[in-house]
Structure 1
Amino acid sequence: MKNLMLFLLLPLFSHHRLSAQPGPVPAGRVVVTYLDSKLLRNNPGGENARRRVSVYLPAGYDASPQQRYPVLYYLHGFTWNDSLIFNKDGMKDLLDQAIAEKQIRPIIVVVPNEQTRFGGSWYVNSATNGPWADFTARELVSFIDQQFRTLARPGSRGLAGHSMGGGGTLRLALQYPGPWAAAYALSPALVGPHPSYLPGPGLPVALRAAGPAGLQGSHPAQSTVAVARAFSANPKALPFGADLPGSLGADSLARRDAALTRWVAATPTYLLPTHTASLRQLRALAFDWGAQDEVLHIPPTCRTFSQWLSSYGIRHTAEEYEGTHGSRIMGHEGRIFRHVLPFFDKHLDF
């Protein structure tokens, strides 16, 4: 059960910078804007409805005011955010070089900040946190199409993400068939049930905490609360607005399978049988993971999900590669540069 919490504590992306390339690389720019969400307003969980959104605009965007571009929506991982994607992980330089090297044609890339009070929205609708899935798939897409020169049609939109964002990518692809043409999930988390996180080692501390202050210094407990607020939300349940998957006795810890059942039911694996039409509507679906992922639930649940997809006759690409949770994601030789961006160059309308 330590493994889920290990991944939630890890920096969710490799911080390797790109190798030097000969000659000048045309530079795009990153615009930071804010969406005052009507959907997230007055949510019971106290999450801020004013959401920062970082948007990469390719070189030439300002000089060619008649040109419109496809959009890739990229979902960050747990405890991460949009600013770190660009300022620590080097996403802007990666995109500049990918366009210069013709890995992908000029494209707009949108990264919303979905970090929450307890680390992340998990990109799901929650009675406590608010409707983050609707926010991402509907309100954000509409906002971007209004604010920037996009090709405002499903065939020109892609969805991708890593870790929490990878799980969110698969879940949104299942539940919202309209907005995107293709989806690619990197090291997706919580794709299916696994003993390592049902319920997880942070549960005892979370149960003893009287409020957020009681979670300080315990990232596993914070993670347990974040997952519960997303998947087993209950605004009336004190102190966290969630049904935690256990209870404390005088000298024992008891599981609450009713809460865990809700966690399992929200995984892409268990959503699949009732949402196959959504995935068949996609032009392409892909996901990958490292064989040495420190988050031990990710490789087996990804393999199982791929098997389920095959059993339903859903075309997809699933690849296990030599790597850890974040060792080969960013950078010139990483999965985004070498696999994700060419995938969208092939499957989106430009």
Structure 2
Amino acid sequence: MRKILIGLLLLCYSITSIAQGKLVRHEFTAASLQNNKGGEDPLRQLTVYLPADYEKGTQRYPVIYVLHGYGGTDSVMMSVWINFKKLLDEAIKTGKMRPMIVVAPNSNSKLQGSFYTNSSVTGNWADYIGKDVVEYMDKNFRTIPDRKSRGLCGHSMGGNGALKLGMLFADTFSAVYALSPAVLNWYGDFTLRSGGFKRISKLNNIEAIVKALNESDKTGDFDAFFAAVLTAMARVYSPNAANKELLADFPVTYVKDSAVYDPKVIAQWEAQFPFYMIDDYLPQLRSLTALKLDWGRNEEFSHIPYTSLQFSKKLEGYRIKHFAEEYIGDHGNMLDGFDGRIFNELLPFFDKYLYVK
């Protein structure tokens, strides 16, 4: 009897081991980020999930590209904040999702966010994802090198990036899922009246802005946080190498305590907001196999629920098929775990809409 029990335990262990996928970390030099004027490192890291049977077979797999949020990295997104390996192992084992490769690229910058946008100053961050990372994955892993087998998703800044790159690279990705997408348009805590713009005018120095951001984690200084976010956005939305301190122009500057608005720069920013991009990318949006965005009702960032719904309504007005959902939750509390949205919504979404040979 004891031998039988030991045998069953060994069998269970063997089955469990077989069901385990693997996380690997690679790095490569991204052509789209080389020779930038902002001092951004073109050597980039990727955290890649490989399904359990990857190393033993010759099968090719669909790929889900995961874009991290502001202040994040590839490893933070995949291993620290969200336990993707645990969720993916269980989803594949239980049939919630077929085996797939999942990759998170590192898009962190000196100001802790690239906003997945090409910049004449800090490098071409959209091309880095849509060209360099995809090319690297197809060259170094057994992917299915077809848009029908590539999905794109992201959270917060990454949700913004997923929607933006879904439009810019609709010939590369076919299914897009945005979780709590940030700064789709002006509203609430993200407006031209943000105290972050005033703080930028006072500090007017990258090192001082980064220092204030790091201290804001302890002090809860929201203006310092937004000063860093807005500077990161300016360096990709309205880059200007002639501005030696910040390498960017800003839609709002301050002379003493008086705000000065620049219509030209405001227009530059709005041209990069996914809400306004919809008008210019209707064929691309219609070509997507599937598009979804969701957000928490109790968001800490008040602009996200409003602008996400606004984005969805605009898609609806153009009769672009998509899914949109508000759920009871905040910016991140409902994402991880087996009862979270990544496991129950995002992974089944890609299982349904990505092509598997």
Query: When the two structures are superposed, what TM-score results if normalisation uses the length of structure 2?
Result: 0.88
Structure number having the greater helix percentage? 2
| Structure 2: distance between partners of 1:249 and 1:316 | 44
* Bigger mean CA offset, 25-34 vs 108-117: 25-34
> Displacement of 1:235 after TM fit?
1.9
Which residue number corresponds to residue 11 of structure 1?
none
Following superposition of structure 1 onto structure 2, how do residues 95-174 of structure 1 map, counting pairs within 5 Å?
A: 95-174=88-167
Instruction: Pick from 194, 201, 207 the counterpart of residue 201 of structure 2.
Output: 207
Q: Do the aligned residues in 2 keep the contact of 1:207 with 1:244 (CA within 8 Å)?
A: no
Which residue number corresponds to residue 294 of structure 1?
300
Instruction: Pick from 22, 25, 29 the counterpart of residue 36 of structure 1.
Output: 29
Which residue number corresponds to residue 84 of structure 1?
76
SS in 2 for 1:239: coil
Q: Considering Cα pairs closer than 8 Å and 6+ residues apart, tell me whether 1 or 2 has the greater RCO.
A: 1
* Bigger mean CA offset, 122-131 vs 195-204: 195-204
| Structure 2: distance between partners of 1:256 and 1:194 | 18
Following superposition of structure 1 onto structure 2, how do residues 54-65 of structure 1 map, counting pairs within 5 Å?
A: 54-64=47-57
* Bigger mean CA offset, 260-269 vs 313-322: 260-269
Q: Do the aligned residues in 2 keep the contact of 1:82 with 1:112 (CA within 8 Å)?
A: yes
| Structure 2: distance between partners of 1:40 and 1:230 | 12
Largest Rg, 1 or 2? 2
SS in 1 for 2:33: coil
Which residue number corresponds to residue 9 of structure 1?
none
**Residue 345 (structure 1) aligned with residue 351 (structure 2):** yes
Identify unmatched segments of 5+ residues in structure 1. Answer: 1-22
Q: Deviations over 1:112-158 (max 9, x none)?
A: 00000001110111111111101111111011000000011111110
* Bigger mean CA offset, 196-205 vs 142-151: 196-205
Instruction: Give aligned pairs, total.
Output: 327
Following superposition of structure 1 onto structure 2, how do residues 305-344 of structure 1 map, counting pairs within 5 Å?
A: 305-344=311-350
| Structure 1: distance between partners of 2:94 and 2:266 | 46
Which residue number corresponds to residue 242 of structure 2?
236
| Structure 1: distance between partners of 2:111 and 2:276 | 25
Which residue number corresponds to residue 186 of structure 1?
179
Which residue number corresponds to residue 303 of structure 1?
309
| Structure 2: distance between partners of 1:280 and 1:205 | 41
Q: Do the aligned residues in 1 keep the contact of 2:188 with 2:302 (CA within 8 Å)?
A: no
Q: Deviations over 1:156-211 (max 9, x none)?
A: 11000010000100011111111111101000011122253223221122112242
Q: Deviations over 1:234-253 (max 9, x none)?
A: 12213111102222324433
- Following TM superposition, where does structure 1 have runs of at least 4 consecutive aligned residues deviating by more than 4 angstroms? none
Identify unmatched segments of 5+ residues in structure 2. Answer: 1-14, 213-223
* Bigger mean CA offset, 187-196 vs 71-80: 187-196
| Structure 2: distance between partners of 1:83 and 1:110 | 10
Which residue number corresponds to residue 258 of structure 1?
264
User: How well do the aligned residues superpose, as a CA RMSD in angstroms?
Assistant: 1.4
Q: Do the aligned residues in 2 keep the contact of 1:184 with 1:286 (CA within 8 Å)?
A: yes
| Structure 1: distance between partners of 2:253 and 2:321 | 42
One-letter amino acid of the counterpart of residue 249, structure 1: V
Which residue number corresponds to residue 281 of structure 1?
287
SS in 1 for 2:310: helix
Q: Structure 1 345/239 Cα, relative in aligned 2: closer, same or farther at 3 Å?
A: same
Instruction: Pick from 65, 83, 86 the counterpart of residue 73 of structure 1.
Output: 65
| Structure 2: distance between partners of 1:315 and 1:342 | 18
Which residue number corresponds to residue 247 of structure 1?
253
Q: Do the aligned residues in 1 keep the contact of 2:78 with 2:104 (CA within 8 Å)?
A: no
SS in 1 for 2:347: helix
Percent identity for Structure 1 against Structure 2: 39
